[in-house]
Structure 1
Amino acid sequence: MRKYLTVLSVEGRVSLRTPEGLMFGIGMPMAVLLLISMLAGNQVVKTGDYTFLQSSYPALVTVGICATAFMGLPLTIADYRDKKILKHFFTTPTSPLFLMSIQVVLCILLALASALGVTGVAVLVLGYRMPGSWLGFVSVYFLVMFSMYSMGMMLASLCRTMKQANLICNLVYFTMLFLSGSVIPFEIFPERMQKIANMLPLTQGVRLLKIVSLEGLRSLPLLPLLYLLLFGIIGIIVSVKTFRWE
């Protein structure tokens, strides 16, 4: 445990040297929430009996997860592989799971800070009140986190070089961010685009968070829950099987 905490502390200090993660993971979703609230926060969504604020809050809490899962975890591991840092770790009694878990914990802390920031703005500044279940919301949030980070771990293992990781992670990140409904309200997408976007795991995660925040646990559909759980398990298995030190 002492070894783990030491490495975690060092990696945490290193991550603070790049403020981009804090800006896009924490600052951006709070700014978008304020913008949506000013433009259409109290307006009722045409496809439901809830406001844009009630629809946007559960979507924007996933931005921190998306940013860290696809622009944090895989890029850090790919950078370490490029710089032969992983090769040096190979000579020590350190497992891939140990290194991955360190990065995942740091990503979780950043994502939680993002979610708390968005929640603080929504509740304290905009007067948001959740009609559904807070307990169910938190549970689904961690399921979405599990699914997204397993995908990030998979990309970290499959991408061999930093150039490859940059290309693939940017593609996945912006696709997830803009098509899942995290930033742009899913309700305004054309029907054809909605059908394509529904195949993304983050889209299902945002959908589940909206349902549980508006209606509670009893209204949660089982199939998307199983989809996210299965996606997460497969991602972890693939990442462990395909991990390379160099």
Structure 2
Amino acid sequence: MTFRTFNTFKTFRTLLKNELKMSFRGMDMLIFALIMPLAVLVILGLIFGQKPAFEGAPYTFLEQSFGALCTISICAGGVMGLPLVISDYRAKHILKRWQVTPVSPSLVLAVEISMYALYALASLVSLFIAAFCFFGFKMKGSLALFLAGYFLVMLTMFSIGMMAGGVSKDSKTAGIITSLLYFPMLIFSGATLPYEIMPAT
């Protein structure tokens, strides 16, 4: 490892640490990315328990909904957190200011992406532990395929978030775009309101 690579890694780690501290103080991501998925899991677990997803199904309703629950934190970071941060950085010319320092704007954006990815992974682990310990959750099928799909969804949502933040002139515009993206995804994705309890229309 060269000195420059080591220095870049050290800078990345310091920035990530500071961004996480500021994020914890804001509480938004703690609520939407960590607490909310667990709350929805507990509600679904208490309502449906070990009931099969449908009559004769070889898996429970909770097992069917687990994948959708995991995407709540991805969407919170990808289509809420990232666009707001990027648009705010652009509007205040913060990324331009980084260009005259040893830290590049791309490194700052990489830190932001990593932070929201950490939130998503922390949510995944906490959901798995809670579902396993309290509701007897068992993952059926291929774990590798599940993780491949999980990271594909993360890549897709983060890409959408980067684009939304890039086309927004300020954080207010980004807030409108993120609301239009996030809340329909949250409500109609089957995560918070399962398809089975929705009316046919």
TM over 0.5: yes
- Asked if residue 44 in structure 1 is aligned to residue 52 in structure 2, the reply is yes
**1:13-28 equivalence runs, <5 A:** 13-28=21-36
Contact 2:50/2:135 (<8 A) preserved: no
- Asked if residue 33 in structure 1 is aligned to residue 41 in structure 2, the reply is yes
Equivalent position to 1:183, from 181, 184, 192: 192
**1:29-178 equivalence runs, <5 A:** 29-46=37-54, 49=57, 50-92=59-101, 94-178=103-187
* Matched pairs, number: 192
Q: Alpha-carbon deviation of 1:43? A: 2.2
What does the per-residue CA deviation read over 1:147-173, in whole Å, with 9 as the maximum and x for residues that have no partner? 111111111211110110011111101
Q: 1:48 to 1:150 in 2, by over 3 A?
A: farther
Q: 1:153 to 1:48 in 2, by over 3 A?
A: farther
Contact 1:104/1:149 (<8 A) preserved: yes
What does the per-residue CA deviation read over 1:173-211, in whole Å, with 9 as the maximum and x for residues that have no partner? 10111122222213344555xxxxxxxxxxxxxxxxxxx
Q: Cα RMSD over matched residues? A: 1.9
Equivalent position to 1:2, from 7, 10, 17: 10
Contact 2:84/2:174 (<8 A) preserved: yes
Q: Alpha-carbon deviation of 1:94? A: 4.9
What does the per-residue CA deviation read over 1:122-157, in whole Å, with 9 as the maximum and x for residues that have no partner? 011111111212222122111111111111111121
Residue in 2 aligned with 1:217? none
Contact 2:29/2:76 (<8 A) preserved: yes
Q: Alpha-carbon deviation of 1:38? A: 1.1
Residue identity over aligned pairs, in percent, reads 40
Contact 2:75/2:157 (<8 A) preserved: yes
In structure 2, how many angstroms separate the alpha carbons of the residues matched to 1:189 and 1:95?
A: 48
| Secondary structure in structure 2 of the residue aligned to 1:131 | coil
In structure 1, how many angstroms separate the alpha carbons of the residues matched to 2:178 and 2:60?
A: 33
Q: Alpha-carbon deviation of 1:47? A: 7.3
